[in-house]
Amino acid sequence: MPQMHLPIFPEGVTHINQLIAFEKRDGTVTYFNGHMPVFSHAHDDTATFKMITAQFCVQGTARQVEIQKAFGLPAITVKRAVKRYRELGPKGFYQARRTRGAAVLTDDVLLAIQERLDDGKEIPEIARELDLLADTLRKAVQAGRLHRVEKKQLNPQRR
């Protein structure tokens, strides 16, 4: 007659449910199924943390509420991770975030502005010519997307 295998966890783990537990040690989070480690990641690796906890939920190993309680997370955080896992899979947690491109300062507009700056025109004048906000141009200069031509300064201590 086969003997039952009881879920025996290592000492010092935090239980997520009867099947899964985790332990934080030396900057690493390790997940256990009974006494067997099943996954580990760096303590500060949030992308992998979200991926593995969402995987536990999608596979039915843990419920979302169990993940929330075990790690002290808001419900929406777990729901978003599970949705991302279902839609994109594990790779969805490691993709670069999508951002909007330049709405006003496209490459052509930046080139036109830079030509005017090189000719020595001032930002308010360029903004009026191109029907743009002067503040938009100032921010682009501060961000390094545009550069002003330095004006020559007269030496006040000429001899």
User: Does one domain contain both 88 and 20?
Assistant: yes
User: Does one domain contain both 89 and 113?
Assistant: no
Q: Is residue 57 part of a domain?
A: yes
Q: Is the pTM of this model over 0.85?
A: no
User: Does one domain contain both 27 and 68?
Assistant: yes
Q: Is residue 148 part of a domain?
A: no
User: Does one domain contain both 19 and 86?
Assistant: yes
Q: Is residue 159 part of a domain?
A: no
Task: Report the Cα 56 to chain-centroid distance in Å.
Answer: 22
In terms of Cα–Cα distance, which of 28, 97, 91 is closest to 54?
91
Q: Is residue 41 part of a domain?
A: yes
Q: Is residue 154 part of a domain?
A: no
User: Does one domain contain both 24 and 67?
Assistant: yes
User: Does one domain contain both 122 and 59?
Assistant: no
pLDDT the model gives residue 3: 56
Q: Is residue 53 part of a domain?
A: yes
DSSP per-residue letters across 36-61 = EEEEEEETT-HHHHHHHHHHHHHHTS
| Overall domain count for the chain | 2
Q: What is the bridge-based pairing of β-strands 20-25 and 14-15? A: antiparallel
pLDDT the model gives residue 156: 63
Q: Within 13 Å, how many C-alpha atoms sit on residue 92's CB side?
A: 16
H or E segment and range at residue 22: strand 20-25
Range of the domain at 120: 107-143
Task: Report the Cα 70 to chain-centroid distance in Å.
Answer: 23
User: Does one domain contain both 62 and 131?
Assistant: no
User: Does one domain contain both 22 and 87?
Assistant: yes
**Mean pLDDT in consecutive groups of 10 residues from the start of the chain, 159 residues:** 67 92 95 93 97 97 97 97 97 88 82 92 92 91 86 62
pLDDT the model gives residue 155: 66
Q: Is residue 19 part of a domain?
A: yes
User: Does one domain contain both 77 and 117?
Assistant: no
Cα 107 to Cα 40, 102, 104: the distances in Å are 44, 9, 9
